[in-house]
Amino acid sequence: MGLKEYRFTEQIDTRSGFGVGLAELGNANPDVVALCADLTGSLKMDDFKAAHPERFFQIGIAEANMMGIAAGMTIGGKIPFTGTFANFSTGRVYDQIRQSIAYSHKNVKICASHAGITLGEDGATHQILEDIGLMKMLPGMTVINTCDFEQTRKATHAIAEHYGPVYLRFGRPKMPNFTTELPFEIGKGILLQEGADVTLVATGHLVWEALEAAKILYEQGINAEVINIHTIKPLDDAIILQSVKKTGCVVSCEEHNFLGGLGESIARVLAENHPTPQAFVATQDTFGESGTPSELMDKYGLNAAAIVGKAQEVIARKA
C-alpha cells in the first residue's frame, strides 16, 4: 500500500478560512447576519463587516447577550453567526446556548476561534480544552472542528445550509492548507490515507500531524490509515467501524481534553459495535499554560511524534 502525499501551497490560519467563508456567504445569502463580542479582527470578520455593515452586529464584551440576541434574530428568518474565542463561545455562555439556542432549536451558528491550546501565550484563561465536550452533550447540537483554511471555509458555507444549531471550532495558528481538492459534507468523515495496521482518527489541527505521523510510521513499515473526522457530532460511525475492522486498533487525535472529546465519542461507538484497542492523543485532564503553540503541542503530546508513539503502543495491544 503506497503513501498518498498531501501538498500545500501555503500555511494559513483556520480562522481566516472562516473569515473568507463568512464574507462569501454574506454576498450569497442576504439572511446571513454576523454578531461579534469585540473580537472582529481576531475572528477575521472585517470583510463581512465592511461589505454588509447593516448585517453586522457589534455586541460589545457581552457574550451572554450575544447568544440571546442571536437566538432572537432567527425569529424572522435570519441565520446568525456569532464570533468570539472558543472559551467565551461555550463555557462562559453555556446556559444561554442550552436554553435559548439548543433547547429552543434555533438556527444559530456559534463560530469559535482560538480553540484548544494553540492560541499560545495568553495561557489557560483563554485556551479551552473542554468545549467539544460541552457542546456535544447538548441535544441537537452539531459540532464541527476543522483542520485547515479550506475546510473551515467550506464548513462555514455548509453550516449556513444546514438548519439547526451548530458549533464550529477553529483556531489561530497557521496550518498547512491541503484540503482544497477534498469535499466537505457535514457528518461525513474523510479517508485521507489508506492503511491496514492502525487507524489514526484526527480532528482539527491534529489532522496534519496525523498525516506526518503516517509518513514516519510508513518508514517503520507500519501502514496507518488516516481518517479526518471534522464533524464530531453527528459522528460518522461507519467510516470508523469500517476502518478498525480492517486495522484492529485506533488512535484518536485531538487538541482537546481526552475527557469529553472526539476520542470518547469514538470509544463509545467501538464499545457498542466492535470493541477495539484505542489510544488517545489528547490533553490529560489538565489546563493549558503560556508558551508558543509548538512548545505547547510538544509539552502536551499533541504532535506527530506523540501520535507515532501511541500508534506503536496500541498496535502492541492488538490481540
- Exposure string for 212-228, b = 16+ CB within 10 A, e = fewer: bbbeebbeeebbbbbbb
Choosing from 3, 8, 38, 104, the residue that interacts with other proteins (CB under 8 A) is: 104
CB of 63 to other proteins, least distance (A): 9
Could you say whether residue 126 binds other proteins (CB under 8 A)? no
Quick one: which of 103, 163, 272, 294 contacts other proteins (CB under 8 A)? Answer: 103
Q: Shortest gap between Cβ of 97 and other proteins (angstroms)? A: 10
**Rounded distance between C-alpha atoms, residue 64 and residue 70, angstroms:** 10
Q: Which stretch binds other proteins (CB under 8 A): 56-64, 154-162, 271-279, 309-317?
A: 56-64
Strands 142-145 and 231-233: antiparallel
The residue (of 57 and 300) whose beta carbon lies closer to other proteins is: 57
CB of 42 to other proteins, least distance (A): 20
Buried b / exposed e over 163-177, threshold 16 CB at 10 Å, is: eebbbbbbbbbbbbb
Nearer to other proteins (CB atom), residue 67 or residue 314? 67
CB of 105 to other proteins, least distance (A): 6
Q: Find the shortest distance in angstroms from Cβ 36 to other proteins.
A: 13
111 interacts with other proteins by CB under 8 A: no
Which residue number, 59 or 251, has a Cβ lying nearer to other proteins? Answer: 59
Provide the minimum distance between the beta carbon of 26 and other proteins in the complex, in angstroms, as a whole number: 13
For other proteins, what does the binding mask look like between residues 231 and 250, x meaning CB under 8 A?
--------------------
Catalytic residues: 63
Binding mask 63-102 for other proteins (x = CB under 8 A): -xxxxxxxxxxxxxxx-x--------------xx-xxx--
Backbone CA torsion sign across 260, 263, 267, 273: positive
Instruction: Assess 55 for contact with other proteins (CB under 8 A).
Output: yes
Which residues form the interface with other proteins (CB under 8 A)? 33, 54-55, 57, 59-60, 62, 64-78, 80, 95-96, 98-100, 103-106
